[in-house]
Structure 1
Amino acid sequence: MHADIRVQTEDFDLPAEWAACRERCGGDCGAIVAFGGLVRDRFGDSEVQALHLEHYPGMTEDSIRRIVEQAAERWRLLDVVVVHRVGDLAANEQIVLVLAASGHRPDAFAACEFIMDYLKTDAVFWKKERREDGDVWIESTADDRSRRESWGETAESTST
């Protein structure tokens, strides 16, 4: 399985990422599932003007790589792409891309969801929303944690 994991300030090009993933998989690929996340422009009644993301270089990529490896152990994957942006992002900008490619759609869907649930809760990122009523550091929600816990133990939850 091939894995492409990037943390970057630059935007990404979904069609180009998709085409590269498809080319790497060749004729064995029966499904590519994509998740693209955007910076929301509202939180409750507050307008979100921007999102600031920080990460710990090296550690963040390693933690994402470990969860991609966990996904590859659970499902038959041919290729995985995770691109996560950092820095200052305006409302409605792209923030994250996950592509999971497999010979069959159930594996691709499950792996993509698994990876995204992990990214929402355990990946080494710090997020601060700039809202019209002040800046707020963002933590994972109870729903995010519940979805993550539904997958059981992972490398991140068992490491010390």
Structure 2
Amino acid sequence: MKISKKLILPVLFLFLGVFFSNAHPFYVSICQVNFNEQSQSLEISVKIFVDDLIEGLSEEGHSKLYIGEAKEDAHTDEYIYDYLKKSIRFKVNEKDVEPAFVGKEMEKDVVWTYLEIDNIADLNDIEVNCNLLTDVFSDQSNIVQVTKSGKTKNLLLSKRDTNGRLKFD
């Protein structure tokens, strides 16, 4: 579903405020997609609460990962990447594309994961199917922000509506 510009800022501030509190009553992720014209790629950042991601990975059969801790499992990045590939799928200009895993970084109670899709000469439209953590939390929301040439468009996806499409001129 498309979100109006008037609605996205209050909703975004609400969800971002939740990211900076210790307990979070909402289940939300933010996926930022930036079209880099120079490198002809999509640079993707996904922000997820660590405890939510651990719960999602546990449902996939990966327990005791200790994300961001000294005793983190050596295969954690691989598990995260596999989970993200299953949970967030992209179609760019009518073609299915698969992102490569770039890495992750910790920020308090959240983890940023970085992905990249190469060989994107132009971004005319993007379809995102995101069911990230919707099988774990029935009220999970996934905000997708796509930026091209300084213009940002947004999607709000959930368990009921996991798919959205944005068109750029």
Q: Which has the higher contact order (CA 8 A, sep 6+)?
A: 1
- TM-score of Structure 1 vs Structure 2, range by shorter chain: 0.3 to 0.5
Normalized per residue, the structure richer in helix is: 1
Could you state the TM-score of these two structures normalised by the residue count of structure 2? 0.33
